Chains A and B, each alone.
Chain A
């Protein structure tokens, strides 16, 4: 099979599953067996979405959530990568950090929201912080495992060529753990979205989670669905963007090329 025909099939298959879901939903909704107030057909949501863009500033909500996600993601993942590399390369750091990392890793992150609000209030800083805290150890632990599973022969080669510690770090440990780092980042990005939508439920002023929650509380069910679908699309686009970054940063990885 040629590469281009495979690509066509890939795209078709990718779009097929959501298409099937939407068609099934549409059919069930129109069958008359369910209450259309709570299960509106997806085809009717388009008009709602257009009205929301005109009257409710839908794009503002999307932008607000997106900025929180990306901001919190960067705020948590960059130090997470740094800590993970340190934990992978130095056993005292690893032993010292491991209890905290594994314990906090297991806490449902949204449970930390009250603490974050006490410490930082309800502004944007708190939103960034809750995302950053949620993903920090996830990224760190994935990065650490990337360093630890790196074949020791690469370190030997570097030593044989008299590499300094800095050269070992930037020339071997960092690039060698990149695939594992990106595995962590992909998980972290999903978490960021979950956490920010949850946070916006609990302190609903702006953002896509606030939109969903407020629509639900006034039984504007169609608006709620628009919010849900947008959240799904947003998550998908964010992962696509991360894949693109990975292809640029890790062009040598067999699974990305």
Chain B
């Protein structure tokens, strides 16, 4: 091999051809979800309404345990609301394909890196040749071409997360649901993948609902930041982020509105995090 790339240095390639999927619209209408907990029912999501437009990039932030994952899972159809409705639709009434990048470890340990990326394509019955081509494009996009044949346990946590992202992108979803996808990554890789995600999103026009704990990340990516309140999870505020596009790390941070938006979101979140800590303390007592 001519050039030895550092394993965590993603090769910046053109966005993989993602058959111009277009976006889906989401209408979350007064949705609630409770779970049976050790001290009675836990209200994970309480009367949440949220509209996401076709092709919009929405980022959800909120204190730990406020129901972000639950909301995302309900949008994905993996969990059913107790009350309320969720409508996901594409412009010409095509069936909507969503792909979720799960929080934490979700790469199949029993499949090689390339087989993980090709998983959805294989289930879709895509031809071998097309599987190979798409997989190799996506692996070079996330900088893992050299690890195509590796087992997941041979990769770092951050590299595994990139496999999960590539696996979700492979099926050309009209809607990407991403649950803290970059949480386990080092900052440089995170920056590069954020920019790559923006390129892919711009190229495909798909809709993204993205959960993060990082205000910085929210401001870099979002059209709109949704702040959720501590348990029971409600929507506390929605803040439009109108920075110019296309964005990158530098343009976002040099935008004069960055500091102001940061302060707004932080003050909203701070209250909620303190509230969450208070009620956690009460539960302990």
Contact = CB atoms under 8 A, between A and B. Distances in A.
**Residue from the set A154, A159, A172, A178 with the largest chain B CB neighbour count within 10 Å:** A154
A251 B109 CA distance: 10
**Residue from the set B76, B108, B151 with the largest chain A CB neighbour count within 10 Å:** B108
B270 interface: no
Contacts of B105: 151, 153
A252 B150 CA distance: 9
A175 B104 contact: no
Nearest to B99: A160
A172 B151 CA distance: 16
B174 to A, nearest CB: 14
Nearest to B152: A252
Contacts, number: 53
A190 B34 CA distance: 48
Interface in B73-130: 73, 76, 78, 98-100, 102, 104-106, 108-112, 119-120, 123
Interface size class of A (residues with CB under 8 A): 20 to 34
Interface in A152-184: 153-154, 156-157, 159-163, 167, 171-172, 175-176, 178
A254 B151 CA distance: 9
A159 B102 CA distance: 12
A157 B108 contact: yes
A156 B100 CA distance: 9
Interface size class of B (residues with CB under 8 A): 20 to 34
Contact of A153 (B99, B102, B123): B102
Contacts of B153: 252, 254
A154 B164 CA distance: 12
A156 B78 contact: yes
B171 interface: yes
A178 B78 CA distance: 26
B171 A156 contact: no
Contacts of B106: 153-154, 156-157
Interface string B50-73: 000000000000000000000001
Interface in A199-241: none
Contacts of B108: 154, 157, 172, 175-176
Contact of B98 (A154, A160, A250, A251): A160
A257 interface: yes
Contact of B110 (A153, A159, A178): A178
A175 B110 contact: yes
A156 B167 CA distance: 14
Contacts of A160: 76, 78, 98-100
A157 B152 CA distance: 16
Interface string A20-59: 0000000000000000000000000000000000000000
Contacts of B152: 252
A151 B167 CA distance: 18
Contacts of A175: 108, 110-111
B119 to A, nearest CB: 6
A257 B110 contact: no
Given A153-B104, A163-B123, A178-B110, A251 B99 contact: no
Interface string A130-167: 00000000000000000000010110110111110001
B285 to A, nearest CB: 32
A171 B167 CA distance: 15
Contacts of A253: 109
A253 B119 CA distance: 19
A57 to B, nearest CB: 45
Interface in A65-116: none
Contacts of B120: 161
Contact of A257 (B73, B119, B151): B151
Interface in B155-207: 167, 171
A172 B98 CA distance: 20
B75 to A, nearest CB: 11
Nearest to A172: B108
B102 A157 contact: yes
B102 A156 contact: yes
Contact of A162 (B102, B112, B123): B123
B151 A161 contact: no
B110 A176 contact: yes
Contacts of B123: 161-163, 167, 171
Interface of A: 151, 153-154, 156-157, 159-163, 167, 171-172, 175-176, 178, 250-254, 257
Interface of B: 73, 76, 78, 98-100, 102, 104-106, 108-112, 119-120, 123, 151-153, 167, 171
By Cβ-Cβ distance, the 7 closest A-B pairs, closest first, are: A175-B110, A161-B120, A252-B151, A254-B153, A153-B106, A252-B110, A160-B100
21 contacts: A156-B73, A156-B100, A157-B100, A157-B102, A157-B108, A157-B119, A160-B100, A161-B99, A161-B120, A161-B171, A167-B123, A171-B123, A175-B108, A175-B110, A175-B111, A176-B108, A176-B110, A252-B110, A252-B112, A252-B151, A253-B109
